[in-house]
Amino acid sequence: MLKKIIDILGIVLPVLIIVLGIIRIFVKKTKGVNGFTMLFAILLLLIGVVRYLFFAGGGSKDSGPKPESLHVSKHSEAFNNSMSAVLIAYYKMTEGFVNWDTAVINNSGNELRLALDSLKIEELKKDSIIYETVLDPYTNAKTELNAILADPSIAEKRGSLNILSDNLRNLLVVVKYDREKIYWQECPMAFGEDRPGNWLSRTIEVRNPYMGIKDPQYGDKMLECGGPKDTIKFDPPADTTKKQ
């Protein structure tokens, strides 16, 4: 704001000098402003006009949109990357359920098992309460995943998927995962009337792994049955390094 005022004064003051000089020239018995002063005022005026029209703001950082602040997670990059690997494998597996493809389910399930084994939960030991709390859903998730891989029936696999999804959700909530938003979707009739099933989704779009695109009873229309029931998105911690 102050810079803008200075730019305007750079035009107004030379104009006043020039006007004063002209008045003094044409008013009788009054000496005019000398030529050097007039020339200097005109030069200042030209500089002020050019500066105001073409260099307003002086190319300062205020021009254009401000860059977004960097996202700072409460977890290390190693932990977030390992959790991201878990979610990527999980999403691939649920898509296998959508397509009734047991080969994809088993292949991505093995990827998920490896990702769960590689999850950097030892980082959570710095908070003993969180670490102890997360052990149950973490262990249960691995147990249900083993059931998915062992069961030959896709119906049985879906039952384990529901329990696996619930435990993964609990894990994400306990650790306050803050890298991305995750949608908690629900199908109200996944296992029959009034027997819902849930799953995690990267997008709000519904791709129902309990009905899928080849459901023999309901057909393709059940793919979009259900919707988001909740979201998992924790804000990063406040930056306490800045002076108040």
117 and 29 inside one domain: no
CATH code of the domain in which 82 resides: 1.20.120
33 and 139 inside one domain: no
123 and 32 inside one domain: no
Give pLDDT tens digits for 69-116. Answer: 445 678 899 999 999 999 999 999 999 999 999 999 999 999 999 999
Beta strands in the chain (DSSP E): 182-187, 197-201, 227-232
112 and 33 inside one domain: no
33 and 125 inside one domain: no
Q: What is the mean pLDDT of the chain?
A: 81
pLDDT tier at 234, thresholds 50, 70, 90: confident
145 and 200 inside one domain: yes
122 versus 226: the higher-pLDDT residue is 122
pLDDT for the residue 36: 59
Q: How far is CA 92 from CA 17, 29, 110, 207, in A?
A: 76, 94, 11, 12
pLDDT tier at 225, thresholds 50, 70, 90: confident
Structure tokens at 124: 């959570």
Q: How many domains does the chain have?
A: 2
31 and 123 inside one domain: no
The answer to whether 64 touches 80, Cβ cutoff 8 Å, is: no
Helix or strand (DSSP H, E) at 56: none
Structure tokens at 183: 């949608």
Domain that holds residue 181: 77-232
CA distance 214 to 100: 7
Give pLDDT tens digits for 128-182. Answer: 999 999 999 999 999 999 999 999 999 999 999 999 999 999 999 999 999 999 9
Q: Which of 51, 69, 88 delimits the end of a domain?
A: 51
Model confidence, pTM: 0.67
pLDDT at residue 235 greater than cutoff 80: no
32 and 145 inside one domain: no
In a domain, 134, yes or no: yes
pLDDT tier at 37, thresholds 50, 70, 90: low
In a domain, 57, yes or no: no
Structure tokens at 111: 């990827």
